[in-house]
Amino acid sequence: MKNPLYIRIKSQERHIPVYVGKGLEKQLVHWLNEIYPQHAVFAIMDDHVYSIYAQRVRDHLLAHPGFKKILKFPAGEFSKNRRTKSVLEDQLLSARAGRDTVLLAMGGGVTGDLAGFVAATLHRGIPLIHVPTSLLAQVDSSIGGKVGINHQQGKNLIGAFYQPAAVFSDIRYLRTLPRDEFINGLAEVIKYAVILEPSLIDFLENHRERILAREEDTLLEIVSLCVSLKIRVVEKDEKEAGYRSILNFGHTVGHAIEKLTDYRTKHGMAVATGMRVALKLSHQLLGYPFSQVQRICRLLDGFELREIQVHSLQFHELWNAILSDKKARQQTPRFTLMRSLKEPALFYPVKQEELKYAVGG
């Protein structure tokens, strides 16, 4: 296994290891025994991940003297709410989880956000370890310390920045990922290619079949690169005061689509459509090359990230959903757009008529 990558958090003088590899369960338990030998250990999974991996994870974690139990919750974005958080907290406190507790968040982005927020607030903060099992979580949501829950007014409106003690991204978990969930994660990979690493566009175009076949070495290369790219951004701007908002490319419209479809639309599919809109706005307002817009749209199509017909939604509802997004300022939507390759325009104000033209409304 390769040596870990490190997230260097200057404000806390911390170096957070991120392990990316194949078959990391023994490495995880060895690390737990070395770093937290006296702590109680709990894991949180959704019921889908639980049905596949609970016994296997339990068998490995039994090698740690403090292992207690695995908690589960209903799979799906609709579980990322106050009620589910309270249920998990009640279960942990009933099991006498104290400050000397380590929490493993094992699953996709919902699990990482939800369990991470539990860890951030239980006893004012207990150690958290991310064990992401989805492509989206491995390349994006497990890195950077964002945790939280949704509110009826919008996505991720309640939460915190809470860095994990470590991240263990085992690409072999991706073998059991449903195809639509795997495709879902590729949207974030393409996002990195657009905003940070144009050479990744070439790689994705040239290795499409290998990626869709989930060839392990190819996935290992993609996950490692995306983790490195996100670490670079997070180290520059941990709490999204400025530069980190580059990672919101496609998310302004994407989050609005998720909200308006009651989260039935998967995050990656919504963000893929949001990227199409952001690309059109980038061309329309900032002169981003139209040939590049076409190329990225072809790439999204090639990975089955087909466009959601945004104009079928009521535009005023879309606009209002965007206004409730946490990135809005002074009742004006703020988009992450691109001026050219690797040159972003952050917090860019977009007018109603400009957005309406871009979505085809």
| Residues 65 and 90: beta-carbon distance below 8 Å | no
Which of 77, 181, 238, 240 is flagged as catalytic? 240
Longest dimension (CA), the chain: 61
What is the DSSP pairing of strand 334-340 with strand 343-349?
antiparallel
130 carries an active-site annotation? no
Residue with tokens 């990672």: 247
| AA identity, residue 159 | G
248 carries an active-site annotation? yes
Main-chain phi, psi angles of 214, to 5 degrees: 60, 45
255 carries an active-site annotation? yes
| Residues 162 and 120: beta-carbon distance below 8 Å | yes
Structural tokens at position 133: 């099992």
Residue with tokens 């195809």: 179
Which of 85, 251, 259, 266 is flagged as catalytic? 251
267 carries an active-site annotation? yes
Which of 39, 130, 191, 230 is flagged as catalytic? 230
Which of 39, 85, 181, 248 is flagged as catalytic? 248
Determine if residue 4 is left, alpha or beta; phi over 0 gives left, psi from -120 to 50 gives alpha, anything else beta.
beta
210 carries an active-site annotation? no
Which of 39, 191, 255, 276 is flagged as catalytic? 255
99 carries an active-site annotation? no
Q: Measured between alpha carbons, how far is 277 from 269 in angstroms, rounded to an integer?
A: 13
Which of 267, 280, 283, 334 is flagged as catalytic? 267
Structural tokens at position 237: 């701007």
Q: What DSSP designation does 358 have?
A: H
What's 10-46 look like in SS3? HHHCEEEEEEEECCCHHHHHHHHHHHCCCCEEEEEEE
Q: Measured between alpha carbons, how far is 30 from 37 in angstroms, rounded to an integer?
A: 10
Q: What's CA 186's distance to the chain center, in Å?
A: 11
Which of 64, 244, 280, 334 is flagged as catalytic? 244
CA angle centred on 313, ends 309 and 319, rounded to 5°: 115
Which of 146, 191, 266, 334 is flagged as catalytic? 146
Q: Could you tell me how many residues make up the chain?
A: 361
123 carries an active-site annotation? no
Which of 25, 77, 188, 238 is flagged as catalytic? 188
Structural tokens at position 267: 């995050």
30 carries an active-site annotation? no
DSSP string over 102-161: EEEEEESHHHHHHHHHHHHHGGG---EEEEE-SHHIIIIITSS-EEEEEETTEEEEEEEE
Residues marked active site are found at 124, 146, 188, 230, 240, 244, 248, 251, 255, 267
